[in-house]
């Protein structure tokens, strides 16, 4: 069994494919067709195109602070591909692919990172919490959702994301503890991208890996090569089977590298070297999956430019939806704070509207 073979106490890294796209452990290759792999590859390309464009939209002043996903696309895609319509996604904020595969529209993401709460609505898809900016605070929610599913005897799996920095928060440990005691169907995916803003993972934890923390909670943990689409896919598949059988949560540590900045406000040159950044380029998840597909005769380099052009146009179209969004109304500030607005709050809205009328009248004079 996978989780036994890759006991985190031995600090083994679960890998199916090497950096050049060759199988290193075929016995663990997930049972998926090359067509499915190709479709996943294309999706990762799409997500990367959108992500890169978000960064440039931000640079152009058309989007606000944005956290780039560059280099981490395999995780969100391999997990996202296994989220069924009835499953929950409890996101952090750097797993764009999973958001899209769960049913978010790209325009939702633009709305959110562009400054409208509307982007957290995800009107096309249920079972999807808004992003969680306070680090790791979403994990107890995932466990609560898992409890509700179990209580209602519903067939649902909860997929929750967090980063390496998040594993230092009490909420991470409390959630795993509750989840294991309650035996809820929750999969916690830690994207270990080596940095919490500027702080490297060695200053975050003295554990030899993050997956090992699962042992203390009596649940399986596995350290996976997060840039290996097959490995993340397989580990997630096993985790789904395990947790669906009523065994409780699974902790997946997906080892990757945040090739971009923490957010567009961050400057990584302050805390890491160019050599280090370069060393991860060879492990890039898209490059690796492309090498696999090329070797299988499923893909040619020359297929790429027209596809990227097509994706760029698709992203532009979605961006136009965001840029043409209705202006933020006064009502939008007040309307959703309560189901039934207290009089106190209504009076505050009325006072503001009176001021706006005065302002308008003053303009005319």
Which residues, including other chains, have CB under 8 Å from residue 62's CB and lie 6 or more apart?
114, 319, 323
Instruction: Say how many Å lie between the first and final Cα of the chain, rounded.
Output: 79
DSSP secondary structure code for residue 269 in this structure = G
Determine the length of the chain. Answer: 365
Residue 281's H or E segment, with its range, is: helix 274-281
Interface with other proteins (CB under 8 A), residue from 33, 60, 134, 306: 134
What is the closest distance, in whole angstroms, from the C-beta atom of residue 171 to other proteins in the complex?
7
Task: Choose the stretch contacting other proteins; rule: CB under 8 A; options: 33-41, 203-211, 298-306, 310-318.
Answer: 203-211
**159 interacts with other proteins by CB under 8 A:** no
**129 interacts with other proteins by CB under 8 A:** no
Could you tell me which of 284, 315, 290, 262 has the C-alpha nearest to residue 72? Answer: 284
Q: How buried is 121 (Cβ within 10 angstroms: 0-12 exposed, 13-18 middle, 19+ buried)?
A: middle
Catalytic, out of 262, 288, 290, 311:
262
What is the closest distance, in whole angstroms, from the C-beta atom of residue 98 to other proteins in the complex?
19
Which residues, including other chains, have CB under 8 Å from residue 319's CB and lie 6 or more apart?
53, 57, 62, 106, 107, 110
Q: Is 23 left (phi over 0), alpha (psi -120 to 50) or beta?
A: beta
Please report the sign of the dihedral spanned by the C-alpha atoms of residue 115, residue 117, residue 120, residue 123.
Answer: negative
Identify whether 325 is a catalytic site residue.
no
Residues 90-119 that bind other proteins (CB under 8 A): 112, 114-117
**123 interacts with other proteins by CB under 8 A:** no
**218 interacts with other proteins by CB under 8 A:** no
Considering the complex, state which of residue 168 and residue 237 has its C-beta at the smaller distance from other proteins: 168
Are the C-beta atoms of residues 229 and 199 closer than 8 Å to each other? no
Identify whether 258 is a catalytic site residue.
yes
Considering the complex, state which of residue 135 and residue 315 has its C-beta at the smaller distance from other proteins: 135
Residues 286-345 that bind other proteins (CB under 8 A): 327-328, 330, 332-334, 337, 342, 344-345
Interface with other proteins (CB under 8 A), residue from 170, 181, 244, 310: 170
Identify whether 271 is a catalytic site residue.
yes
What is the closest distance, in whole angstroms, from the C-beta atom of residue 211 to other proteins in the complex?
17
Which residues, including other chains, have CB under 8 Å from residue 205's CB and lie 6 or more apart?
164, 167, 168, 213
What is the closest distance, in whole angstroms, from the C-beta atom of residue 358 to other proteins in the complex?
6
Residues 234-253 that bind other proteins (CB under 8 A): none
- Which positions lie near other proteins, rule CB under 8 A? 64-65, 112, 114-117, 131, 133-135, 137, 165-166, 168-171, 196-199, 203-205, 263, 265-266, 270-271, 327-328, 330, 332-334, 337, 342, 344-345, 348-349, 352, 355, 358-359
Please identify every residue annotated as catalytic: 258, 262, 271
């Amino acid at each position: 069994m996978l989780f036994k073979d890759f006991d985190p106490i031995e600090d083994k890294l679960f890998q199916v494919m090497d950096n050049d796209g060759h199988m290193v452990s075929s016995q663990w290759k997930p049972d998926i067709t090359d067509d499915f792999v190709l479709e996943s590859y294309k999706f990762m390309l799409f997500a990367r195109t959108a992500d890169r464009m978000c960064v440039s939209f931000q640079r152009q002043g058309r989007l606000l602070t944005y956290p780039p996903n560059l280099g981490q696309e395999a995780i969100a895609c391999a997990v996202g591909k296994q989220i069924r319509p009835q499953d929950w996604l409890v996101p952090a904020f750097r797993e764009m692919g999973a958001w899209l595969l769960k049913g978010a529209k790209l325009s939702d993401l633009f709305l959110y990172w562009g400054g409208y709460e509307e982007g957290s609505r995800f009107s096309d898809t249920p079972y999807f919490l808004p992003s969680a900016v306070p680090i790791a605070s979403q994990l107890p929610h995932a466990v609560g959702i898992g409890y509700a599913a179990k209580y209602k005897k519903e067939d649902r799996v909860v997929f929750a994301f967090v980063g390496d920095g998040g594993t230092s928060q009490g909420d991470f440990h409390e959630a795993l503890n509750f989840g294991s005691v309650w035996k809820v169907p929750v999969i916690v995916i830690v994207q270990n991208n080596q940095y919490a803003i500027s702080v490297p993972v060695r200053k975050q934890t003295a554990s030899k890996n993050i997956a090992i923390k699962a042992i203390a909670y009596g649940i399986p943990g596995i350290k996976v090569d997060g840039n290996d689409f097959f490995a993340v896919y397989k580990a997630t598949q096993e985790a789904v089977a395990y947790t669906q059988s009523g065994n409780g949560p699974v902790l997946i540590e997906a080892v990757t590298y945040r090739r971009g900045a923490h957010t567009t406000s961050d400057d990584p040159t302050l805390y890491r070297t160019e050599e280090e950044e370069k060393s991860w380029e060879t492990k890039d998840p898209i490059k690796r999956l492309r090498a696999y597909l090329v070797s299988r005769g499923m893909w040619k380099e020359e297929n790429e430019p027209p596809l990227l052009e097509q994706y760029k146009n698709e992203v532009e179209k979605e961006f136009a939806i965001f840029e043409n969004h209705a202006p933020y109304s006064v009502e939008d500030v007040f309307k959703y704070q309560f189901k039934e607005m207290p009089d106190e709050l209504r009076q505050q809205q009325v006072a503001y509207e009176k001021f706006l009328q005065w302002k308008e009248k003053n303009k005319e004079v």
